[in-house]
């Protein structure tokens, strides 16, 4: 029995789809379905159980003999979150509970960290797993700090009583199918395609930092299929991967992303630049690019989907399709 937390969410539902396609299971989805239509993300899945997060501790305890792995994607992931107590409870304490269960049951634990742990990138984007280097990171928002807090606990305390196989994945900018319930937190690809009208401009933020032209803010955009493949590859290893970056290793501009999205819709892009809201300027990352050398050194040698290919697949096979769900 494989438990996927956040299983009705964006990445979690894609993990469930991939596990099912590989014949893995039985599968358990841990999540709140709420009222945003998240149930559609798992409507095609053959699930053994759906468990709410508050019931998961008891569920694992009652089914300790059957649970064989945990993929932990559940979290408050909004970068604008402000309730510190709630974020710590869900992103830190809940993760520690699952870590301890997997260590006690001697089963793999693969969890989602975030590139938000790197803050403004001043300390670089290298997943060294060195306690002193990790301590230098300064996340820019509450969400990033909560992910850094759990990573720090794992490196300093968790490894003393660890699951037999574990990995924490620092996701960079993930985009792809099944993110539609996320509202303002959807990827720019989804927002552009939903708003696109032929002949109308795509609006991007101006740059408010020297050295970056308007629309040339850079991100490491990674397609969700690649993220899922890395997660399952790490979960199937015989030993631990540690904290690992998951991006492509190539930074691309928001202008590149917008052009790819509009061209995937069959039109030529027109870009317009607007002021960035002052409320987010101080916490805005102008550059992210994953150092992928650690994952490669572990033996992962598969190619990552290019920005143009990933955006085209997402737009044409999902966003513009009659059935847009995985």
**Cis status of the peptide bond prior to 26, with omega within 30 of 0:** yes
Structural contact between residues 143 and 77, judged by C-beta atoms closer than 8 angstroms? yes
Establish whether 209 is a catalytic residue: no
Closest CA to 251 of 221, 272, 229: 221
User: How crowded is residue 218: how many other Cβ atoms within 10 Å of its Cβ?
Assistant: 19
Tell me how many domains the chain contains.
Answer: 1
Establish whether 300 is a catalytic residue: no
**Active-site pick, 182, 191, 206, 324:** 182
**Active-site pick, 71, 111, 118, 143:** 143
CA atoms lying within 13 Å on the CB side of residue 213: 5
Asked whether residue 197 is assigned to any structural domain, the reply reads no
Asked whether residue 263 is assigned to any structural domain, the reply reads no
Q: In angstroms, rounded to a whole number, what is the distance separating the alpha carbons of residues 269 and 308?
A: 14
Asked whether residue 321 is assigned to any structural domain, the reply reads no
Asked whether residue 172 is assigned to any structural domain, the reply reads yes
CATH number (domain holding residue 91): 3.40.50.720
Asked whether residue 215 is assigned to any structural domain, the reply reads no
Asked whether residue 8 is assigned to any structural domain, the reply reads yes
What is the domain extent for residue 46? 2-176+221-249+291-302
Asked whether residue 18 is assigned to any structural domain, the reply reads yes
Cβ within 8 Å of residue 86, ≥6 positions away: 76
Asked whether residue 38 is assigned to any structural domain, the reply reads yes
- The structure tokens 């969700």 sit at 224
Tens-level pLDDT at each residue, the chain (326 residues): 999 999 999 999 999 999 999 999 999 999 999 878 899 999 999 999 999 999 999 999 999 999 999 999 999 888 878 899 999 999 999 999 999 999 999 999 999 999 999 998 989 999 999 999 999 999 989 999 999 999 999 999 989 999 999 999 999 999 999 999 998 889 999 999 999 999 999 999 999 999 999 999 999 999 999 999 999 999 999 999 999 999 999 999 999 999 999 999 999 999 999 999 998 888 788 999 999 999 999 999 999 999 999 999 999 999 999 999 99
């Amino acid at each position: 029995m494989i438990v996927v937390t956040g299983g009705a969410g964006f990445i979690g539902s894609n993990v469930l789809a991939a596990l099912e396609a590989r014949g893995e299971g039985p599968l358990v989805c841990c999540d709140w379905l709420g009222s945003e239509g998240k149930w559609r993300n798992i409507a095609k899945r053959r699930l053994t159980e759906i468990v709410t997060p508050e019931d998961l501790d008891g569920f694992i305890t009652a089914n300790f003999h059957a649970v064989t792995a945990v993929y932990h994607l559940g979290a408050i992931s909004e970068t604008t979150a402000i309730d510190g107590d709630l974020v710590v409870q869900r992103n830190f304490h809940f993760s520690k509970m699952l870590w301890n269960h997997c260590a006690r049951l001697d089963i793999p634990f693969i969890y989602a960290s975030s590139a938000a742990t790197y803050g403004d990138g001043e300390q670089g984007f290298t997943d060294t797993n060195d306690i002193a280097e990790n301590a230098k990171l300064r996340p820019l928002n509450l969400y990033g700090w909560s992910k850094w807090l759990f990573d720090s606990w794992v490196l300093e305390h968790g490894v003393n009583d660890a699951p037999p196989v574990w990995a924490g994945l620092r996701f960079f900018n993930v985009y792809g199918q099944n993110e539609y319930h996320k509202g303002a937190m959807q990827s720019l690809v989804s927002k552009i395609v939903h708003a696109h009208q032929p002949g109308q401009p795509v609006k991007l933020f101006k740059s408010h930092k020297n050295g970056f032209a308007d629309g040339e803010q850079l991100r490491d955009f990674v397609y969700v299929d690649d993220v899922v493949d890395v997660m399952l590859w790490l979960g199937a290893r015989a030993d631990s991967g540690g904290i690992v970056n998951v991006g492509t290793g190539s930074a691309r501009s928001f202008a590149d992303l917008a052009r790819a999205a509009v061209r995937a819709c069959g039109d030529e892009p027109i870009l317009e630049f607007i002021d960035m809201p002052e409320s987010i300027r101080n916490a805005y990352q102008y550059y992210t690019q994953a150092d992928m050398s650690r994952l490669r050194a572990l033996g992962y040698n598969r190619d990552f989907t290019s920005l143009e290919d990933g955006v085209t697949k997402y737009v044409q096979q999902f966003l513009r399709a009659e059935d847009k769900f995985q």
